Chains A and B, each alone.
Chain A
Amino acid sequence: GAGVSQSPSNKVTEKGKDVELRCDPISGHTALYWYRQSLGQGLEFLIYFQGNSAPDKSGLPSDRFSAERTGGSVSTLTIQRTQQEDSAVYLCASNRLMDTQYFGPGTRLTVL
């Protein structure tokens, strides 16, 4: 079956602009995670959605970052007023509760 998909695969933007990154999880997976990987770093947890519960936003680095998950499926990560330090690969993962997380290919964001 289809895996986790993310779009766009690459995004180049200018400092100060807003960007939206999209994640389509595996069908039937109730949990969805966003991570980011900055250059030379490991994956950093950002936010977690589980069903209709309130999201775990403990990893969001600033209030410029927000995410939504509509209808328990597709998720959008929004970064407002992007900064150069936001440049990273943003990865989405999904799973059934307590199961292995399956990752998408990521969106490479470059902020000029």
Chain B
Amino acid sequence: DQQVKQNSPSLSVQEGRISILNCDYTNSMFDYFLWYKKYPAEGPTFLISISSIKDKNEDGRFTVFLNKSAKHLSLHIVPSQPGDSAVYFCAASSYSGAGSYQLTFGKGTKLSVIP
């Protein structure tokens, strides 16, 4: 049973427009959410995060929105650039004991920004 779902495996956006990547989760114990970006043959790199006590966090062109009642978060990239083309993973964190904040990942959304 997937606890973190990214229902769109791929997304294509024109350069300069907004990219919106969506993520849904089922576990109400998740208290911290992250977006990672992954290029081929590289490990995921941290992009932006949000605590469950907030509903928005902004960092430059990237904004993450959290709707706790809907158990939904989204990543907005504006304006989108060709270098943003990558696979984006949504991840959720919960404390699992003994200091472990393991991450539960979605399957990823492949973003293609078309010049």
Quick check: is A72 within 8 A (CB to CB) of the other chain? no
Task: Select which of A43, A50, A93 is within 8 A of B100 by beta carbon.
Answer: A50
Quick check: is A2 within 8 A (CB to CB) of the other chain? no
Cα–Cα, bound, A21→B106 (Å): 24
Shortest A10–chain B CB gap in Å is 10
Residues of A within 8 Å of B6, CB to CB, are 42
- Where chain B touches its partner, the secondary structure class is loop
Residues of B within 8 Å of A4, CB to CB, are 43
Q: Interface size class for chain A?
A: 20 to 34
Q: Which chain B residue shows the least CB distance to A108?
A: B41
A40 touches B43 (CB 8 A): no
- Knowing A42-B105, A42-B106, A45-B104, the reply to whether A106 touches B98 (Cβ < 8 A) is no
A103 touches B43 (CB 8 A): yes
Quick check: is A8 within 8 A (CB to CB) of the other chain? no
Shortest B9–chain A CB gap in Å is 8
Shortest B69–chain A CB gap in Å is 24
| CB within 8 Å of A: which B79-115 residues | 89, 91, 96-108
Cα–Cα, bound, A40→B106 (Å): 11
A40 touches B107 (CB 8 A): yes
Q: Which chain A residue shows the least CB distance to B102?
A: A45
- Knowing A100-B34, A105-B42, the reply to whether A54 touches B98 (Cβ < 8 A) is yes
Top 6 A-B pairs ranked by shortest CB distance? A103-B43, A42-B105, A43-B105, A42-B107, A56-B100, A50-B99
Q: Which residues of A contact B (CB under 8 A)?
A: 4, 31, 33, 35, 40-45, 48, 50-51, 53-54, 56, 58-59, 91, 93, 97-98, 100-106
